[in-house]
Structure 1
């Protein structure tokens, strides 16, 4: 087992290198015994196993140190099974709700041919769909096939870069498909490359808020949507955190998406623009240990939810900020919205993974989302562990585009060093699926790949209906 990529990632988290010997790997092959899991031209398998490995190690370390109060407490062994990792990285594809496959990408979320190139759009949410169509001047009417044909006709006569700017100006989401070289030369690509993979900062010298009881988990306010942030908080919930997701009543979440990433959490609605909503949030913040945000950078600042303001009102809090492109001040796109599929398109991944017909392709999973989610959870856990010895409010920052840069330019691919016959054991995703009853129906779902000796075997609660819980701590 080659731990070089894991060691670099663990070092980026500030972890003790001596703990890496606690990690063991179970590699897997495809069902026919050929090749590894998550096959791709880029080292996606290594990204997946590395992010899960450091997350599990950070969890084992946190449990050992918080349970005993000793920095020298022995850390449990960590197991990383490629089968569990691969299944979890496509958890949304394995999900079934009373036997029904969930809705995934909407008809207008796809690649499109333009005049001289390709464009990727994202229109899963109704407001993003409306803004895309408005920017293109296409009326929203008729069936999906007719609407797609109308969009295709408009885009065929326009440059992808021009559409990219017009759609973003309208509040929608679209990016031109670029090669890796074009992205490296782009001001945003260059700015992202200069970022640390994991940004970890100490904001002050405030003492860490005590946990509710010895050995209990932290209280986590979850202000994230879609995949990366919810994967991080779903993982924290598995590990014993009291996770309360907060959504605006004006932006309802998809129940299908929540059925995948809502395990272990409660979900409440708060209107932060109202006096009562702000008052409820401040009561929650006053007892929180962690706040995770994943909205468009700067979108929550008007509610006083920047990292500095949160730490000022809740000294000792850990604030974790997730962005698509790097965050405010990081290149011309730092404050823009974005999703995994768009980052793959802009960064050159779609070209690298393109098909034989010359069209753009995709990774075998939304690996930027899932990998960044596990890495975010690991950074939160490492921050909480470091606080036990030195206090201080902490800030954690990650970006999907920086994870993409790591995948493309910095992550070693162990396939180049593997000998024939070293691929490991056969892989069947059914081994890593479970069934759970829930208010949303009977769920078939992926189990968590985060595992260590004596660790939790599953979540203590299934996902409920989005927004159905009271905004209070248990």
Structure 2
């Protein structure tokens, strides 16, 4: 499917008027990266739909209509943004653990390990009873049945997925549980006041306060996107939580960063103060994880009537895998995407998408849906919940017509990437990273702040 068709479909899902689509134009080479899936159209369309929504909010605030251009190749680069980030002229080290990846179990089935966080790595090694060495891990896994190991690791709260075919996934109880869910949900969950979009400020989201309690890629990309349209985004983490610094730098642009320990009374009190002044609360912990700390949707909306509560999960908020830990590549493995890419490449091993497409696409859909909720709050009042998941985005991608692996495909060239980079002076040094894709004629998308060092800012609103 073309980016134009995908954008029209996404815009219709949000109730947008067809004539609004005339504001946006796609430009540049239509070649995508090698994949049997429509990753190029998805990258361009998800970036475009949130940009168009930002333009709509700008008009709702009294701003003038504007034109938007999305370069298709720039969109591809943004979906690989962490791979092009450099600091002081040096590319960052590969954050992937040396034992992460695909292994063949004793029954001939493949399984993927995700061990990029130290506690996930250590937990997997404890189950396998081996040392941190790829050959040792392979030997240990050869003594397991793939499905049995997947279940054992899940019960230990570790991160792994057996490689399934698409047909196997469609028959799986988790896939069936989320089969009727929409691509994204925006629903009213409680009463709350009508909160008009601020008429002052030079940008679509000027004056909007966003609490970002997320890590890694998908939800942080969504929060970063809100920041590039003017929202005050405060990313809240904690010193005891692991992070991948390359991703912290890439997704932190435009945000402020504070650290709070929600296990401590002072941290919880600070969080309550932040919630009382927030417009948007974004979290990407497993469903109901924060509820155990007193931060359920109901409790948060009672604390702050009119709050937009945004949740991202791996496999969806319902079904037997709702509480299972997951990442983009694991969802690719479990849902048949990795198997399909491997087959398209005539490989005996699983393949993978050319970038973390589920993460990035879901992040942009999160931003789009959040802006939809802000619009609804401004008209109808109420507190709203936004829900997205990597598995729902994956299902959307899998439902599109397929391509030949190398049909009209071309890797990004160095001269292309150079055009899409922008420099900033950050606490890490001179950073170069992919600039926002959308070109907006009146309210250009940009980052007012460089990527912050973790905990650089006080946990207060500006």
Q: Common fold, TM-score beyond 0.5?
A: yes
Structure 2: 5+ residue stretches without partners: none
Is the CA contact 1:227–1:261 (under 8 Å) kept in the aligned structure 2?
A: yes
Say which of 51, 54, 63 aligns to 2:46.
51
| Inter-partner Cα distance in structure 1 for 2:75 and 2:154 | 34
The equivalent of 1:144 in structure 2 is: none
Change in CA separation of 1:80 and 1:426 when aligned onto 2, cut-off 3 Å: farther
CA contact (8 A) 2:150 2:162 kept: yes
1:452 & 1:446 partners in 2: Cα distance? 17
Q: Which residue of 2 aligns with 1:8?
A: 9
- SS of the counterpart of 2:154? helix
User: Does residue 79 of the first structure (1) align with residue 69 of the second (2)?
Assistant: yes
Quickly say closer, same or farther: Cα 1:222–1:122, change in 2 above 3 A.
same
* CA offsets 1:344-386 (integer angstroms, 9 cap, x no match): 0001000111132321111011000000001100111111112
CA contact (8 A) 1:23 1:53 kept: yes
Whether the 8 Å CA contact 1:318–1:394 is kept in 2: the answer is: yes
Assess if the C-alpha contact under 8 Å between 2:153 and 2:159 holds in 1: yes
Pick from 199, 208, 225 the counterpart of residue 185 of structure 2: 199
**In structure 2, the residue corresponding to 1:345 is in which secondary structure?**
helix
Q: Which residue of 1 aligns with 2:126?
A: 134
TM-score by length of 2: 0.92
- Report the more deviating stretch, 383-392 or 219-228: 383-392
Within 5 Å, which residues of 2 pair with 1:114-153?
114-115=105-106, 116-140=108-132, 147-153=133-139
Q: List structure 1 runs of 4+ shifted beyond 6 angstroms.
A: none
Partner of 2:315: 325
| Contact 1:208–1:315, Cα closer than 8 Å, also in 2 | no
Contact kept? 1:271, 1:277, Cα under 8 Å: yes
Counterpart contact for 1:220–1:242, Cα < 8 Å: yes
Aligned residues: 447
Aligned counterpart, 1:372: 362
2:125–2:131 Cα contact (<8 Å) kept:
yes
CA distance in 1, matches of 2:374, 2:67: 20
How many Å separate the matches in 2 of 1:101 and 1:193? 41
Residue 295 (str. 1) matches residue 285 (str. 2): yes
Is 2:99 aligned against 1:108?
yes
Instruction: Name the structure 2 match of 1:264.
Output: 254
Residues 120 and 258 (structure 1 numbering): CA distance in 2 closer, same or farther, change over 3 Å?
Answer: same
Q: Secondary structure at the match of 2:178?
A: helix
What's the offset of the Cα at 1:426? 12
Cα separation, 2, equivalents of 1:10 and 1:125 = 37
Q: Write out per-residue CA displacement over residues 249-276 of structure 1, whole angstroms, 9 at most, x where no aligned residue.
A: 2104232221111001011111112111
**Which consecutive unaligned segments of at least 5 residues does structure 1 have?**
30-35, 141-146
- Structure 1 residue 458 displacement after superposition: 2.1
Q: 2:433 aligns with which of 430, 445, 469?
A: 445
Task: Calculate the TM-score normalised by the size of structure 1.
Answer: 0.90
8 Å CA contact 1:255, 1:465 repeated in 2: no
Asked whether the 8 Å contact 2:423–2:430 carries over to 1, the reply is yes
Question: RMSD of the TM alignment (CA)?
Answer: 2.1
1:104 Cα offset (Å): 2.4
Corresponding residue of 2:163: 177
- The separation in 1 between residues aligned to 2:90 and 2:22, in whole angstroms, is 42
Kindly state the Cα deviation for residue 151 of structure 1 after the two structures are TM-superposed: 0.6
